Amino acid sequence: MTLSNGQSYLAIPGPSVIPERVLRAMHRASPNIYQGELVDLTHSLIPDLKSVAGTAHHAAIYIANGHGVWEAALSNVVKPGETVLVLATGRFCEGWGEMATALGIHIETIDFGNAADVDMTQVEAVLKADTDQRIKAVMAVHVDTSTGVRNDIVALRNTIDTAGHKALLMVDCIASLGCDEFQMDAWGVDVMVAACQKGLMTPAGVGFVFFGPRAVEVRDAMPRVSRYWDWTLRTEPEVFYQYFCGTAPTHHLYGLRAALDMINAETLPAIYNRHRVLAQCVWAAVDAWATAGTMRLNIDDPTKRSHAVTSVVITPPNSERLQTWTRENIGLTLGLGLGMDPADGYFRIGHMGHVNGQMILAALGGIDAGLKAIGVPHGAGAIEAAATVIAKAAPFQETDVSNCNTGCCGG
Ligand SMILES: *Cc1c(COP(=O)(O)O)cnc(C)c1O
């Protein structure tokens, strides 16, 4: 039998759950792309995007996914033959490095493995050894979606400064923006890339490059930048058509407007808190499972874990079996162990964007059922532990029932 009919939960780390409000905002006829509502709406997105990124500088929007803005960011500031330093803490920064290689850029990689964050001592040593300042940019991911690690971007900025290096700091926030706190200007980030289908709750297809004054200087000294990726006209368009180097991603812009309205209404501090508590709820469950058998959280130190995605180590081939079971039997789709070695010894739970307490508890309950169904040894009390985290974070208040106590609803 199957128990999968009903509202399903795509708990992969992107694309994330799309709010009804975003979907409804997109369900409309094509707007005029030269004047009127869409033009005003697009102008209204820029300050809101910048505020989510924590920057007062520039935001360029591209019709592209995360890989597109990886290429866009590099194309504006690094030319073929120049060198960048890739801080690999999982599949995603490696992938960004491969993108640089494909653009003819020379990459130097420090590989921190699949279960650790960036070790600043090693970064400082490499930057200090680069006495003729060949390294033009340092590339890092804020949250690596494959391992679930969150890198300390403030420490990375300090390390670059301490080494006396003038390299640009480029950060991938595709998984973290709108989930984990990020402050582009305060943290001294020169270029940041993000996309709309994770914390920003919009269907995949639009990406962003945020850049500050040092990046502008570097861009201006480039001999040429491919027209489509050039961020200059996109941020200072003479006519609206140039915002997107052609036709605007009309429906995505409506969806994004609705998503940003939701973010503004909830406020960023509340959003970061929600993600933190939901992540702690997931960790509590996995820690309970880990008390028997071999499952465990991939990142040991809770201060280095993402609040948007959790990577769980599980004995192969149980990851594959668990994902198949939850998908086919209860309508819960978990993330694969992406780029991990061996990949089927991991699974990932996306808890980014439009997710709440009952969704996470249901997902954890579904995983618990799956472990029992496929016979993976695991500790008891996971759901109890997860529910306790939620209960503590949201203690009962008398006002919760005041509407009924007044008798106004007859009950
Ligand atoms: C999802 C993701 C990407 C890739 O984004 P695409 O839209 O799939 O190209 C890159 N980096 C990080 C950190 C991600 O989470």
Give residue 8's pLDDT: 94
Mean pLDDT of 254-261: 98
Mean pLDDT of 214-231: 97
| Cα-trace Rg, the chain | 22
Crossing angle of helices 357-374 and 318-330, rounded to 10°: 120
pLDDT of residue 409 exceeding 90, the answer is no
pLDDT of residue 17 exceeding 60, the answer is yes
- More confident: 403 or 173: 173
Give residue 402's pLDDT: 60
Give the confidence band of 140 by pLDDT, cuts at 50, 70, 90.
very high
pLDDT of residue 408 exceeding 70, the answer is no
Which distant-in-sequence residues (6+ apart) come within 8 Å of 52 by Cβ?
A: 177, 178, 200, 260, 263, 268
- The dihedrals phi and psi of 93, each to the nearest 5 degrees, come to -70, -30
pLDDT of residue 405 exceeding 90, the answer is no
Ligand 1 residue neighbourhood (C-beta within 6 Å): 14, 65-67, 92, 141, 145, 172, 174-175, 195, 204
Q: ω before 203 within 30° of 0 (cis)?
A: no
Q: How many A from CA of 219 to the centre of ligand 1?
A: 24
Give the confidence band of 31 by pLDDT, cuts at 50, 70, 90.
very high
Closest CA to 143 of 206, 89, 209: 89
Which distant-in-sequence residues (6+ apart) come within 8 Å of 317 by Cβ?
A: 344
Instruction: Tell me which residue has its CA closest to atom 15 in ligand 1.
Output: 175
Mean pLDDT of 332-349: 86
Q: CA–CA separation, 325 vs 332, rounded Å? A: 9
Give residue 89's pLDDT: 97
Q: How many A from CA of 68 to the centre of ligand 1?
A: 10
pLDDT of residue 362 exceeding 60, the answer is yes
CB half-sphere exposure, 16, CA atoms < 13 A: 30
Mean pLDDT of 284-303: 97
Give residue 340's pLDDT: 77
Lowest mean pLDDT segment, chosen from 171-175, 281-285, 343-347: 343-347
